[in-house]
Structure 1
Amino acid sequence: MDLSIASLASNLLAPTILFFILGLVAAIARSDLSIPDGAAKIMSIYLLLAIGFKGGVAVAESGVDSQMIASLGAGAVLSFVLPFIAYWLLRIMTRLDPLNASAVAGHYGSISIVTFVTAVNLLEGRGLGFEGYLVAVAAVMEVPAIMSALWLAARRAGTASSDNSLLRHIIGNGSIVLLIGSFAIGAITGEAGLIELKPFIVVPFTGVLAVFLLDMGLSAGKSLLEHRKDISGGLLAFGCIMPLIGSLFGLAAGVLIGLSTGGIFLMMVLSASASYIAVPAAMRLALPQAKSGIYLSLALGVTFPFNLTLGLPIYFLLANLI
C-alpha cells in the first residue's frame, strides 16, 4: 500500500476534513457563520444511527468470535488505564491541581465518536475493510474512563460525587443508547436491512458528515476563543501529546488481538480520542468544582482538531507500517 506523503496528504485534504478546517477558521475569524442547533442535533443522530447500523450488519455477516470478545475487553481496559497516564502527564506538564487534573484525565480514556466516524469514512473512501464490531468497542469505552476519573478525584483530591444521578446519566446517555441500539438492529436485520436502508444511511453519509464537521469546527474555534486564558502552553502540549501516547496503546492492542489494518487504525483512533460530550456532562454532575472551561476546551478545542488534521494521517501511517 502506498505510504507516501501524498497518500497521507489525501487524508488531510479529504472534503470532510477541509469543511472542519473551514469552520475552525471561520470561528477564529469571528464570522457569523452558524449551523442551527436543531440541524446539528439531527445530523448527530443520523451519523450515530448510520455507523451503528452498518457495524451491526458487519457483525451479522462475520458472527461473534473470540477476536470480538478480546477487542471489547481491550477497549474497556484501555478506557480505564489511559486516564491514569493522562493524570500523571498533567501533573508533570501543567500546574493543574489534583481535582482539575482528574477531571481532564477522564476525557482521555473515553472516545470522540465524531473522530471515529470520520476515520471510518476515510477507510470506506479508500475501500479498506475493518471489523464492524469496533462500533461496539467505541460504546464500551465511554464508561470506564469516567470511573477512573472519579477514583482519581476521590484519592488525589478527596472529593467526588457518588450521586445515583451520575450512574443514570451514564447508562441513559443518548449517544450510547442510539449507538448500541442501532448496532443491535443492524445485527438482527443483517444484509437485508442494509439493502432496505441503503438510500438513507449509505449514499448521504459523507455529505452529512461534511456539514456536521463544519459545525464542529465552529464549535471548536468558539471554545478556544472563549476559554483561551484557561489553556496554558503545558495544556496545549498535553492536548497534542496525549493522543499520540494513547494511539500507541491502541496500536499494541490491535496488533496483539490480530485486527486488520483498518481495525488497528480504528483502535488507535479510539485510544487517541478525547470525549467532549459524554464525559463533560458526567464531570459536571460528579465534579462540579472542576473548571469546565479547561477540560471542555482542551478536548474540543485542542485534541479534537489535532486528531482530525494531523492525528488521523499519523495513525493511518503507523497502522500500515505495522
Structure 2
Amino acid sequence: MDIVMTIATTVVEQLQKPTLAFLIAGMLLASLGSKFEVPEPVYKFIVILLLLKVGMGAGISVREADLMSLLVPALGAGVVGILIVLIGSRTLVRLRGVSELDGLATVGLFGAVSASTLAAGMAVLDDQQLYYEGFIGALYPFMDIAALVTAIVLAKLAQARKATAIQSVGGTGGAALAGGPAGGVGGSAPIGGMDKGLLGGILTDTFRSPAISALVIGLALGMFSQPDSVYKSFYEPLFRGLLSVLMLIMGMEAWSRLSELRKVAHAYVLYALTAPLVHGLLGFGAGLVAHHFTGFSAGGVVLLSIMAASSSDISGPPTMRGALPEANSSAYVGASTGLGTPVAILSIPVWIALAEMVIGF
C-alpha cells in the first residue's frame, strides 16, 4: 500500500510540472475546440532544435565516456526494441479485428522511440536535479532502428507468405494477383531474394528521416568537434521553453488523433493504454542489468524506461509509410500519437518513483 501511495504522490506532483502540464493543456485546448495552432514549419524547427540539442549533449558526453559504460545500456536498448516488437507480434497482432500488417506497423512504432518523450523525461529529471548519464541520447538510435527494422522485416515476410499461399492455391492466376515476378514475391524469384537489400533500404530510409538525421548529426558534432560554447549559450537556454511549446502541440495532436481510432478495432485502444507500461518495465529491467554491471545511474534507468515506454511520433510514421504503404495509418498513428504518447509521458513519474524505491537517487 505504501508503494502505491508513493507512486501516486509522485505522479500528482509531476503532473504539476511544466512539461506534463503543457501536454495536458494542449489536450484540453483541443477538446474545447480551440482554434489555437502552431504553424507546421515552426513545429518542425522546434523538433530539429531539440534533437540537435539532445544529440550534441550525448556526443559531448560520449567523448569522455567509458566504452563499457555506454556499450551495455546500448545493447540493452537494442534488445528491448526487438523484444517489444516480438511481444507485440504475439499479442496485438493476434487480437480480433487486427490485421497482421497493421498490427506489426503499430508494434514497430511502439518499439521505436519518441524523441519528444525522451526530451520531456530529461527535462523532468533536470528540474528535480536528478543525475543521469549525458550519453543517454546516443541510445536512441539503438532502440529505434532495432524496433523499426524488426517490425518491417516481419511484415515483409508476412506479405511474402501470404503471396506465396495465394500463388500455390491459384497457380498462374494467383501469381498475377500477387504481382508475379515483377512484384518481387512470385515467379522464379525466391523469398530470400525478395529480402535482398531490404535491411539496407530500411536503414537508409530510417537514417534519412529528419528526426534520426538531426540526432545523428548532433551526436557527430558533439563527438568530433567542439560545439560546447554554442551548446551552452544557445541550445541549453532554449531547451525547456521550446519543449513546453512542443508538449502543447503534442497534446493537441494526440487529442485529434483519438478520432482515428474509431475507424479501427478496439484492440488498438487496449494495446495503446497498456503497452507503454509493459514496455517501460522492460526498459527498467534492462536498465537494472546495466546498473548491476556498469553502475548505470538511477536517472539513466528512468530514461531507458521512458524510451521503452514511448512510441515514435516523428521518425517512425514516415518510415512505416514508406516501407509499408499498404498498412492502415489510422491504426498505427492513431494508437501511437493518440494514446501511446500521452500515456508514456504521463507515466514518467512512475519510473522515477520506481527507481527511487529500487535503486535510490
Q: 1:65 to 1:167 in 2, by over 3 A?
A: closer
1:218 aligns with 2:252: yes
**Partner of 2:308: helix, strand, or coil?**
helix
TM-score (norm. length: structure 2): 0.81
Residue equivalent to 2:74: 72
**Partner of 1:202: helix, strand, or coil?**
helix
Residue equivalent to 1:248: 281
Q: 1:196 to 1:154 in 2, by over 3 A?
A: closer
Identity %: 25
Residue equivalent to 2:211: 175
Q: Distance in 2 between matches of 1:41 and 1:154?
A: 30
| Aligned partner letter, 1:302 | L
Q: 1:28 to 1:4 in 2, by over 3 A?
A: closer
Residue equivalent to 2:177: none
- Offset, 1:241: 1.2
Contact 1:3 1:320 in 2 (8 A): no
- Offset, 1:66: 0.7
Q: Which consecutive residues of structure 2, in runs of 5 or more, have no partner in the other structure?
A: 163-184, 186-193
Residue equivalent to 2:22: 19
Q: 1:248 to 1:79 in 2, by over 3 A?
A: same
**Partner of 1:276: helix, strand, or coil?**
coil
| Aligned partner letter, 2:340 | T
Residue equivalent to 1:291: 328
Measured against aligned partners, the alpha-carbon deviations of 1:240-266 in whole angstroms (never above 9, x if no partner) come to 211111111111111111121100001
Alignment of 1:56-205 (within 5 A): 56-60=59-63, 62-157=64-159, 158=161, 166-189=202-225, 193-205=227-239
The equivalent position to 2:300 in structure 1, one of 244, 260, 263, is 263
- Offset, 1:90: 0.6
Q: Distance in 2 between matches of 1:147 and 1:209?
A: 28
Alignment of 1:299-318 (within 5 A): 299-309=336-346, 311-318=347-354
Residue equivalent to 2:262: 229
Residue equivalent to 2:182: none
Q: Distance in 2 between matches of 1:99 and 1:156?
A: 8
Measured against aligned partners, the alpha-carbon deviations of 1:76-118 in whole angstroms (never above 9, x if no partner) come to 1111221111122214544202121111111121111110000
RMSD of equivalent CA atoms: 2.2
**Partner of 2:338: helix, strand, or coil?**
helix
| Aligned partner letter, 2:51 | L
Contact 2:81 2:144 in 1 (8 A): yes
Measured against aligned partners, the alpha-carbon deviations of 1:122-158 in whole angstroms (never above 9, x if no partner) come to 0111111111222111122221112211232234443
Contact 2:261 2:331 in 1 (8 A): no
- Offset, 1:269: 0.7
Q: Distance in 1 between matches of 2:272 and 2:96?
A: 11
Q: Count how many residue pairs are aligned between Structure 1 and Structure 2.
A: 316
Q: Distance in 1 between matches of 2:102 and 2:286?
A: 29
Higher mean alpha-carbon deviation, 110-119 vs 65-74, is at 65-74
Asked which structure has the greater CA Rg, the reply is 2
1:280 aligns with 2:313: no
Contact 2:57 2:135 in 1 (8 A): no
- Offset, 1:31: 1.5
Contact 2:209 2:318 in 1 (8 A): no
Q: Distance in 2 between matches of 1:197 and 1:306?
A: 31
Q: Distance in 1 between matches of 2:17 and 2:214?
A: 27
- Offset, 1:176: 1.3
- Offset, 1:221: 1.4
Q: Distance in 2 between matches of 1:151 and 1:207?
A: 39
Q: Which consecutive residues of structure 1, in runs of 5 or more, have no partner in the other structure?
A: none
| Aligned partner letter, 1:171 | F
Q: Distance in 1 between matches of 2:129 and 2:41?
A: 33
Contact 1:166 1:285 in 2 (8 A): no
Q: Distance in 2 between matches of 1:150 and 1:70?
A: 25
Residue equivalent to 2:191: none
Q: Distance in 1 between matches of 2:66 and 2:214?
A: 21
